[in-house]
Amino acid sequence: MKENMISRKKALKFIGLGSISTLLAPALFTTSCAASRQSGGYKSYDEIFNVTYPFSLGDLPYTYDALEPAIDAKTMEIHHGRHHQGYIDNLNNALEDHSNLQGMSLAELVAGLNDLPTDVRTAVRNHGGGHLNHAIFWNTMIPNGSRASDSFEEAVNRDFGTMDDLKAELKNAAGVFGSGWAWLTADSNGRLSVVQTNNQDNPLTDGLTPLTGVDVWEHAYYLKYQNLRGDYVDAWLELVHWEKVSEIFEESLQA
């Protein structure tokens, strides 16, 4: 499998300290860094991971009410327009005085979190992670869900047994205590696994490619589901855009 496209020289130039082993996350980086855009529509692999400073909030690929009744319009409006925008504003503010980091993609920042200067590390962890996590979250939902590609289903059957078994693992992982995420990830060999992260941490920091994830932070469902987290996760599983998840998986293997 090809090595990812970020060079050690580039990483050292941007970060200027420490080991860069965590920057070598599997199969994420391509040679181009697409600009963050407001055009709406589902984003490509490159548009999710390789956006650079200054970051901006793109339009959703659907209207706020499109995911009803699973997720109500008011929750979507608050979650996207206020909370996600807040992560972006705080991330931009944190990087404003770090010109040596501004050329790094969002994925590079999150993957190389542990090598960033200490005065910016927490902000990137919380707000850079929050931006990336939510970009993936919005981009892998679609009204009424969708079907996975044949090749992705083969990978799921190999690593979980069936799609239903995968969904059961995701629901179980969504029981993470407090705020956090349940993720479907791929490693550098294309092996799939379900992992949990706390708060706005992202699997990239541990060298895994995030394919889709469910936000179980309270504001993701507080207006409709309140404390019924299991009902919320069941509803989310019916919205997963498995076609887009398949695309991200297959592009990661080719990177």
CATH of 8-37+47-54+72-139, one of 2.40.40.20, 1.10.645.10, 1.10.30.50, 1.10.287.990: 1.10.287.990
At residue 242, does pLDDT exceed 60?
A: yes
d(CA 187, CA 193): 8
Residue with the larger pLDDT of the pair 228 and 77: 77
Instruction: Say which CATH superfamily domain 150-254 falls into.
Output: Iron/manganese superoxide dismutase, C-terminal domain (3.55.40.20)
| Residues contacting residue 204 through CB under 8 Å, at least 6 positions apart | 25, 28, 107, 110, 111, 132, 210
Instruction: Name the residue type at position 16.
Output: G
Which 3 state secondary structure label does DSSP give 195? strand
- Strands 209-215 and 180-186 turn out to be antiparallel
pLDDT digits (tens, 9 = 90+) for 22-69: 333 444 443 333 333 333 699 998 999 999 999 999 999 999 999 999
Stated pTM of the model = 0.85
Beta bridge partners of 186: 192, 209
pLDDT digits (tens, 9 = 90+) for 132-150: 999 999 999 999 999 999 9
pLDDT digits (tens, 9 = 90+) for 153-176: 999 999 999 999 999 999 999 999
> Percent of the chain having pLDDT more than 90?
75
The domains of the chain are located at 8-37+47-54+72-139, 150-254
> pLDDT tier at 255 (50, 70, 90 boundaries)?
low
Provide the pLDDT for residue 3: 38
